[in-house]
Amino acid sequence: MDKSIYKDVYVFVEQRENKIQSVAIELLGKARELADELGEKVVAVFLGYNIQSKAKELIAYGADKVLCVEDDALEYYMTEPYTQAITQIVKSRNPDIFLFGATTIGRDLGPRLSARIGTGLTADCTGLAISEEKELLMTRPAFGGNLMATIICKEHRPQMSTVRPGVMRTKPKDETRQGEIEMVKVDFDKSKFKVRILENVKEEKSLIDITQADILVSGGRGVGCVEGFEALSDLAKVLGAEVSASRAMVDAGLIPQERQVGQTGKTVRPDVYFALGISGAVQHLAGMEESEYIIAVNKDKGASIFNVADLGIVGDLNQIVPALTRRLKKIRTNQQ
Amino acid sequence: MKIAVCIKQVPDTTEIKLDPVKGTLIREGVASIMNPDDKGGLEMALQLKEKHNAHITVITMGPPQADDILREAYAMGADRAIHLSDRKFAGADTLATSYALAGALRSSEYDIIITGRQAIDGDTAQVGPQIAEHLDIPQVTYVEELTVKENNKLLIKKSTEEGYQMVEVSTPCLLTVLSSAGNARYMTVRGIVEAYTRDVEVWSADDIEVDQTKLGLKGSPTRVFKSFTKGAKAAGQIYEVDTEEAVDIILEKLTEKFII
């Protein structure tokens, strides 16, 4: 195939109720890096209804160009209208790379598109880089995170990948950046629209599967009481984390058994594991030592949890946890 | 009503361990299981069988030993089992896998195709939607519940990040299902005994309607360039400092890790 006709790094900008999702902003930052290395442009693909006024924001986050498709068929995400719109864009403009967020939307759209276009798609990448041959190197975990694999898509374009929210770092907003906004018209074959959304319900999800959490705030005997547990919940909330515990807290009735980490509980490997007031019995370590990054706080300098911790703090968690929560809240407020 | 359920045999990844010296995966002795989301999908199909007298075909693509999960599906209550097994399928990525499965499904009858949301060895969640595209039928992903309505319509509860959606879709269609959709039933003793006396249809690439250049490694747009295990951990750092300084250190590390 003649690869020279394929140019630029495209990002699918996910919006929900006209709110641009954070994963799209993160992807624009990564796309900027990749495009600079290739000497190409970043193109944001923004689909929806009454969204045009938000397109400028995408330029501030790194896009050189925004392709804006306005149509009432695109107001809420549905597989077929979105697939048709993006297929037309891909066929007429020949992107080199196309990135999607690995959300319930991106993971519905990405594979459908890849099959319609006939190109490869690499799911849930944690690393994206450009090779010496100017190809996209897509690195992802496999076998439940036991192995990392770098994937390439040599003979098909665009090279497509999904990336989970929170994996790429947001680049700072630059309101002075210049770029172009182009309104694009799409012809829909509405006879293919066979799914209808009847109702969209929001509910506070209680994610009780701690093995799926990216961050766990875990407490042990040192947490002590109900108030101590509430402090942990506050910290978890501001971090977007789940609360888990060693057996001591479960036995004390402070937390249900489904949140127990360890040999008689669950095995977890989150990106960050806070071990707060956990001494580090072998049975507990067996359930969490494979965590990506372990932060331990314990009064006892000799606690065996410090043997597996990446960062150990000898101190009183009843002081440190509330102080940390306060500071994080302040940071979050400033970010908004 | 005819239902086709796509299932996959996977290593029980929760059992996989790393060789501490070589840093490679130890796969020997690791049990193979029916992928949990696929099992949830099969359970959903079995419930439709009970309520609506549906006929269930299970289909898998994989090496000869994948026969085990087809027997398991028989023992749970499936009516027909098809095993796509041919060297020509080997090394397939998600696109080539979905293409082969779609080829097999094209020559079977179905109103609903059910796949698991994703398999625990790859976690891609791609094969279901890709099959739907090859067959030119609508898809609904992340399905939690399903009700059969009149006029070939299904009412579906679909899980989203914020909650759920109620959607309506007409058959034929493809659904990707969460393992939580149904607590999979156990095999019955009689079912297990009978499962090994029943026929599993083994199909090769010549038995399905496909362009063989699109199968297996040859037909796969993506390739593994390299694979590696994450390096061993460096020794951690321990600080004995006052509260504010401790908070500073934690925040600094969280920033480095892109958490904040």
Closest residue, chain A, to B226 (C-alpha): A150
Query: In three state form, how does the secondary structure of chain B look?
Result: CEEEEECCEEECHHHCEECCCCCCEECCCCCEEECHHHHHHHHHHHHHHHHHCCEEEEEEECCHHHHHHHHHHHHHCCCEEEEECCHHHCCCCHHHHHHHHHHHHHCCCCCEEEEECCCCCCCCCCHHHHHHHHHCCCEEEEEEEEEECCCCEEEEEEECCCEEEEEEEECCEEEEECHHHCCCCCCCHHHHHHHCCCCCEEECHHHCCCCHHHCCCCCCCCEEEEEECCCCCCCCEEECCCHHHHHHHHHHHHHHCCCC
For the record, the structure tokens of B120 come out as 């625990």
B167 lies in some domain: yes
For the record, the structure tokens of B174 come out as 């493809």
* Angstrom distance (rounded) from CA A131 to CA A196: 43
Using alpha carbons, list the distances in angstroms from residue A110 to A6, A134, A140, B113. Answer: 19, 23, 16, 19
- The tens-digit pLDDT sequence of chain B (260 residues) is 999 999 999 988 666 666 656 656 666 777 899 999 999 999 999 999 999 999 999 999 999 999 999 999 999 999 999 999 999 999 999 999 999 999 999 989 999 999 999 998 888 999 999 999 999 999 999 999 999 999 999 999 999 988 899 999 999 999 999 887 777 888 888 888 899 899 999 999 999 999 999 999 999 999 999 888 765 555 689 999 999 999 999 999 998 887 77
DSSP string for residues in A41-100: -EEEEEEESS-GGGHHHHHHTT-SEEEEEE-GGGSS--HHHHHHHHHHHHHHH--SEEEE
- The tens-digit pLDDT sequence of chain A (336 residues) is 888 999 999 999 999 999 999 899 999 999 999 999 999 999 999 999 999 999 999 999 999 999 999 999 999 999 999 999 999 999 999 999 999 999 999 999 999 999 999 999 999 998 999 999 999 999 998 776 667 899 999 999 999 999 987 778 788 999 999 999 999 999 999 999 999 999 999 876 555 678 778 899 999 999 988 888 899 999 999 999 999 999 888 888 888 877 999 877 787 889 999 999 999 887 788 788 888 899 999 999 999 899 889 999 999 999 999 999 999 999 888 876
* Cα-based angle B243, B244, B246 (whole degrees, multiple of 5): 65
- Give the CATH number, domain containing residue B206: 3.40.50.620
Residues 6+ apart with CB under 8 A from A309: A275, A294, A295, A296, B236, B238
Indicate yes or no: CB of B257 within 8 angstroms of CB of A328. no
The 10 Å Cβ neighbour count of residue B29 is 7
Q: Which of A120, A107, A52 is nearest to A79 (CA)?
A: A107
Amino acid at A251: D
CB contact at 8 A, B120 and B10: yes
The residue of A108, A161, A208 whose CB has the most chain B CBs within 10 angstroms, and thus the best one to mutate to test that interface, is: A108
Task: Look up the domain containing B108 and give its range.
Answer: 2-214
B246 lies in some domain: no
Indicate yes or no: CB of B258 within 8 angstroms of CB of A327. no
CB contact at 8 A, A214 and A271: yes
What are φ and ψ of residue A31, in 5° steps?
-60, -35
Indicate the number of domains in chain B. Answer: 1
* Angstrom distance (rounded) from CA A128 to CA A151: 10
A186 reaches B (C-beta below 8 A): no
Residues 6+ apart with CB under 8 A from A265: A247, A250, A257, A259, A287
B226 reaches A (C-beta below 8 A): yes
B120 lies in some domain: yes
Indicate yes or no: CB of B16 within 8 angstroms of CB of A146. yes
B138 lies in some domain: yes
B132 lies in some domain: yes
Nearest-CB residue to A151 (from B166, B222, B230): B222
The residue of B19, B112, B133, B239 whose CB has the most chain A CBs within 10 angstroms, and thus the best one to mutate to test that interface, is: B133
Q: Which of A35, A309, A216, A226 is nearest to B259 (CA)?
A: A216
* Cα-based angle A110, A116, A117 (whole degrees, multiple of 5): 85
**pLDDT value of position A290:** 80
CB contact at 8 A, B109 and B145: no
Nearest-CB residue to A151 (from B139, B169, B224): B224
b/e per residue A83-98 (b: at least 16 CB within 10 A): bbbbebbbeebebbbb
Nearest-CB residue to A148 (from B11, B163, B228): B228
Report H helices in chain A.
22-38, 55-60, 79-93, 106-117, 226-239, 247-251, 282-288, 305-308, 317-335
Q: Which A residues, 196 through 235, put their C-beta within 8 Å of a C-beta on chain B?
A: 196-203, 205, 215
Indicate yes or no: CB of A313 within 8 angstroms of CB of B250. yes
Q: Which residues of A touch B243 (CB under 8 A)?
A: 315-316, 319-320, 323
Q: Which A residues, 302 through 321, put their C-beta within 8 Å of a C-beta on chain B?
A: 306, 308-316, 319-320
A127 reaches B (C-beta below 8 A): no
B238 lies in some domain: no
B66 lies in some domain: yes
User: 3-class DSSP state for residue A307?
Assistant: helix
For the record, the structure tokens of B137 come out as 């039928």
B244 lies in some domain: no
Q: How far is A179 from chain B (nearest CA, A)?
A: 28
Measured in whole angstroms, the distance separating CA A86 from the mean position of its chain's CA atoms is: 22
Indicate yes or no: CB of B253 within 8 angstroms of CB of A293. yes
**pLDDT value of position B227:** 85
Q: Which residues of B touch A141 (CB under 8 A)?
A: 123
Domains of chain A: 3-192 (3.40.50.620), 210-335 (3.40.50.1220)
Report H helices in A94-202.
106-117
Closest residue, chain B, to A289 (C-alpha): B233
Closest residue, chain B, to A78 (C-alpha): B140
Q: Model-level pTM greater than 0.90? A: no
**pLDDT value of position A12:** 98
User: 3-class DSSP state for residue A226?
Assistant: helix
CB contact at 8 A, B184 and B178: no
B217 reaches A (C-beta below 8 A): no
**What does the pLDDT look like over B209-257, one tens digit per residue?**
999 999 999 999 999 998 887 655 556 899 999 999 999 999 999 988 8
